[in-house]
Amino acid sequence: MRIKTAAQYEEWYKNAKENPEDFWGEMAQNFSWRRRWEKVQEGDFNSLDIKWFQAGQLNITENCLDRHLKDKADQVAVIFEANDPNEPARNITYKELFEKVCKMANVLKNHGVQKGDRVCLYMGMIPELLISVLACARIGAVHSVVFGGFSNQSLAMRINDCGAKLLITCDGSPRGKKQVLLKDIADSALKDCPNVENVLVFKRIEIEVAMKEGRDHWANPLIDEASSECAPEIMDAEDPLFILYSSGSTGKPKGLMHTCGGYMVWAGFTFNNVFQMEKDDIFWCTADIGWITGHSYIAYGPLLNGATQVMFEGIPTYPDPGRFWKVIDKYKVTHFYTAPTAIRHLEGFGLEYVNKRDLSSLKVLGSVGEPINEEAWNWYSKHIGNGKCPIVDTWWQTETGGIMISALAGVTKDKATYTTKPLPGVIMSLVDHEGKELEGENEGNLCIKKPWPGIARTIWGNPERYKETYFSTYPGLYFTGDGAKRDSEGNFRITGRVDDLINVSGHLLGTAEIEDALNQHKEVVESAVVGYPHNIKGSGIYAYVILDQNQEHENPEDLNKELSNMVGTILGPICKPDKIQIVPALPKTRSGKIMRRILRKVASNKFDDLGDTSTLLNPEVVDELIKHKI
Ligand code: WT7
């Protein structure tokens, strides 16, 4: 059951708004439940005790796997394309995936993992990551996937914050020409994680790694030996399914917690309606399962809908910048979902790589993670979609669990640079600074008025921060942190973050986290980090750094490199500043607050548009910043 026409979209949108109980009760029936819910939805944005499908019971893996064994057992669920283009593809059918998941679930059980325990996963993009995620869900363990590009300290922080007792990792992961030494990094992290009792290690790159007696176990032989029978743990709809960390405006990332029932309905419903896959279509989402896009549109959405998908281990530019187009051609991908940063990056290599391949299998293109500029939209549409593929520009967040605003492929109209209209059940609101709702064609801050099934229920271990971050700016509303414009037809265009987060290549990073890392350097006394427009990444990271005047400093070039590497080591390579400017002081208000608005303007070369600087404690410093701007 899905929306098939624009008129039907209007009708469903209206129904979901006016009768959410009936609407979502009906949608939830597209899934298998062990016990029917008693109440579809409870709680609101004032009380914050949001619940969906209360008293319902289910296991999401029954919906992703068991359910398809009747008629799709031999259909391929996952086509694995390795980093090395010469490595043969691995096709995994629904039946094989089901068996592997059950085996891995038994391995976890044999290592003491029980319902409600947290398990951390730190792996590359191999089928075993997907299998392990589902194995956790099978036995009711709460998974927390940590992106393989994060550092040992970032991993340790996440393991400890969620209280994981088991870690699943790999010896390493190939990334283009390089290798990420996951087990080595995990070992340094584990020095600070006393609660981790067992580590399961998959072999991927066949390198020597240290194995700690009693703690570390090779996972592959354990899976081979394990039984392929594992009854699913019956979960309450509101039991936690996973925790995924996302940067926040303090140095510490937030562990967003999603629940079994609502998340399942949301991931399944949105995938079905946005992408409109038909029988024999092939889906490919290029994200990593370490980010929410991979959770919802690799791990869960496609499987909930019994789709066939490509899972890719590598990077877009290896062995050359034609890799994406080659893979589309090779597997006749019909639905391709990627990020604007990748599109802009690959566009820069010209059409030579695109034209070498047959992309005529493509029917639908997707964009996710950041605003897509008109030029990239047009290039994507014309050269990748051959002018015939609708583009679904999907706006959503780690917190929303799944797509919130998007065109429905081929059903509702797309519009360059607009993410278009909210899905049924998503009641958006544009507000001004005071929280007054703006009507019609307008620009303001983007809020959501009503709970939807996929909303993260809390920040793990910190309900106060959940309330403070999302519900305190405009009481009664969920504040997204984004600014947006709405056209006269009700289409939304996201203008970017309005808070202290920077969207770098589709990943949100907290400026505070990067500042904390810079401040750990012995010569640094203070720092301030802002975003600036970057042709490929969307936003680049610009760091202003004040050095300790009482110390000798090495030459600026070496120091910059050292600072940048330090951020890479502490947080992970994606957090490295693009530019570092050593400054004598930062512009501050009389109360000592850093004027970030000015720092952002300077970093963006908008020197004529600095606004009033007379209220600053130290207005003279602004000229100094401009004079030595990098
Ligand atoms: C932030 C959420 C969407 C899952 C991956 C990122 C930005 C996301 C779009 C889009 C413009 C977008 C927003 C949002 N964003 N999608 N289609 N157009 N901006 O999840 O790391 O939680 O980031 O990404 O700023 O708030 P995330």
pLDDT digits over 344-377, tens only? 999 999 999 999 999 999 999 999 999 999 999 9
Residue ID of nearest Cα to ligand 1 atom 5: 369
Nearest Cα residue to 71 out of 239, 234, 299, 306: 306
Q: What average pLDDT score do residues 489-495 get?
A: 96
Q: What average pLDDT score do residues 216-229 get?
A: 98
Q: Mean pLDDT check: name the lowest of 55-69, 167-181, 496-510.
A: 496-510
Edge-to-edge order in the sheet of strand 442-448: 437-438, 428-431, 442-448, 478-486, 492-497
| pLDDT digits 0-9 by tens, 72-102 | 999 999 999 999 999 999 999 999 999 999 9
Q: What per-residue confidence (pLDDT) applies to 610?
A: 85
Number of CB atoms found within 10 A of residue 194's CB: 8
Q: What per-residue confidence (pLDDT) applies to 347?
A: 94
pLDDT confidence bin for 555, thresholds 50/70/90: confident
Cβ 448 under 6 angstroms from ligand 1 = no
CA–CA gap between residue 70 and residue 193 (Å, rounded): 43
CA–CA gap between residue 307 and residue 272 (Å, rounded): 10
Q: What per-residue confidence (pLDDT) applies to 503?
A: 95
Q: What per-residue confidence (pLDDT) applies to 71?
A: 97
CA–CA gap between residue 335 and residue 363 (Å, rounded): 6
Structure tokens that stand for 494 in this block: 């996201």
pLDDT confidence bin for 233, thresholds 50/70/90: very high
Inform me whether the pLDDT recorded for 424 exceeds 80.
yes
Nearest Cα residue to 285 out of 276, 505, 295: 295
Atom of ligand 1 nearest to the CA of 394: 17
Cβ 482 under 6 angstroms from ligand 1 = yes
Q: Angle at Cα 261 formed by Cα 259 and Cα 267, nearest 5°? A: 85
pLDDT confidence bin for 590, thresholds 50/70/90: confident
Cβ 505 under 6 angstroms from ligand 1 = no
CA–CA gap between residue 238 and residue 54 (Å, rounded): 7
Cβ 230 under 6 angstroms from ligand 1 = no
Q: Are 275 and 407 in contact (CB under 8 A)?
A: no
Q: Mean pLDDT check: name the lowest of 339-343, 461-465, 569-573, 593-597.
A: 593-597
CA–CA gap between residue 367 and residue 294 (Å, rounded): 13
Inform me whether the pLDDT recorded for 554 exceeds 80.
no
- Map residue 606 onto helix, strand or coil: coil
pLDDT confidence bin for 416, thresholds 50/70/90: very high
Residue type, 242: F
Cβ 395 under 6 angstroms from ligand 1 = yes
Q: Mean pLDDT check: name the lowest of 73-82, 417-426, 612-621.
A: 612-621
Nearest Cα residue to 359 out of 387, 318, 395, 397: 387
Residue ID of nearest Cα to ligand 1 atom 1: 397
Cβ 394 under 6 angstroms from ligand 1 = yes
Q: Angle at Cα 415 formed by Cα 497 and Cα 442, nearest 5°? A: 50
Those residues with Cβ within 8 angstroms of residue 352's Cβ, 6 or more apart along the chain or in another chain: 322
Cβ 17 under 6 angstroms from ligand 1 = no
CA 166 to chain centre: 23
* Residue 499 CA, ligand 1 centroid: distance in Å: 13
Q: At what angle do helices 6-18 and 20-28 cross, to 10 degrees?
A: 120
| pLDDT digits 0-9 by tens, 262-321 | 999 999 999 999 999 999 999 999 999 999 999 999 999 999 999 999 999 999 999 999
Residue ID of nearest Cα to ligand 1 atom 6: 369
CA–CA gap between residue 406 and residue 412 (Å, rounded): 9
Query: How do 478-486 and 442-448 pair as beta strands?
Result: antiparallel
CA–CA gap between residue 339 and residue 167 (Å, rounded): 29
Q: Are 389 and 360 in contact (CB under 8 A)?
A: no
* Residue 284 CA, ligand 1 centroid: distance in Å: 19
Inform me whether the pLDDT recorded for 103 exceeds 90.
yes
Structure tokens that stand for 409 in this block: 């492929």
CA–CA gap between residue 208 and residue 600 (Å, rounded): 46
Cβ burial of 352 (10 Å; 0-12, 13-18, 19+) is exposed
DSSP state of 232: P
Cβ 420 under 6 angstroms from ligand 1 = no
Q: Are 207 and 172 in contact (CB under 8 A)?
A: yes
Cβ 288 under 6 angstroms from ligand 1 = no
Nearest Cα residue to 458 out of 142, 189, 160, 159: 142
Residue ID of nearest Cα to ligand 1 atom 17: 395
CA–CA gap between residue 532 and residue 331 (Å, rounded): 38
| pLDDT digits 0-9 by tens, 567-585 | 999 999 999 999 999 999 9
Domains with residue ranges and CATH for the chain:
1-41+264-453+480-499 (3.40.50.12780), 501-627 (3.30.300.30)
CA 562 to chain centre: 29
Bridge partners, 312 (sequence order): 81
Q: What per-residue confidence (pLDDT) applies to 550?
A: 82
Q: What per-residue confidence (pLDDT) applies to 612?
A: 78
Structure tokens that stand for 127 in this block: 């089928």
Cβ 368 under 6 angstroms from ligand 1 = yes
Bridge partners, 508 (sequence order): 503
Q: Angle at Cα 584 formed by Cα 581 and Cα 589, nearest 5°? A: 100
Query: How do 166-170 and 391-394 pair as beta strands?
Result: unpaired
Residue ID of nearest Cα to ligand 1 atom 2: 397
Inform me whether the pLDDT recorded for 532 exceeds 80.
yes
Average pLDDT over the chain reads 96
pTM score, whole prediction: 0.94
Those residues with Cβ within 8 angstroms of residue 143's Cβ, 6 or more apart along the chain or in another chain: 118, 119, 120, 121, 132, 133, 136, 137, 241, 242, 243
- Coarse DSSP helix, strand, coil percentages of the chain, rounded to the nearest 5 percent: 35, 25, 40
Cβ 292 under 6 angstroms from ligand 1 = yes
Number of CB atoms found within 10 A of residue 22's CB: 12
Residue ID of nearest Cα to ligand 1 atom 12: 370
Cβ burial of 46 (10 Å; 0-12, 13-18, 19+) is exposed
Cβ 296 under 6 angstroms from ligand 1 = no
DSSP state of 549: T
- Report how far apart, in Å, the C-alpha atoms of 177 and of each of 207, 314, 613 are: 15, 10, 48
pLDDT confidence bin for 591, thresholds 50/70/90: confident
Cβ 480 under 6 angstroms from ligand 1 = yes
pLDDT confidence bin for 435, thresholds 50/70/90: very high
- Looking at 515-557, which runs of residues are DSSP E strands? 524-534, 538-547
Atom of ligand 1 nearest to the CA of 480: 26
- Map residue 160 onto helix, strand or coil: helix
pLDDT confidence bin for 184, thresholds 50/70/90: very high
CA–CA gap between residue 272 and residue 525 (Å, rounded): 52
Residue type, 206: E
* Residue 506 CA, ligand 1 centroid: distance in Å: 7
pLDDT confidence bin for 564, thresholds 50/70/90: very high
CA–CA gap between residue 255 and residue 517 (Å, rounded): 20
Q: Are 525 and 547 in contact (CB under 8 A)?
A: yes
CA–CA gap between residue 138 and residue 241 (Å, rounded): 10
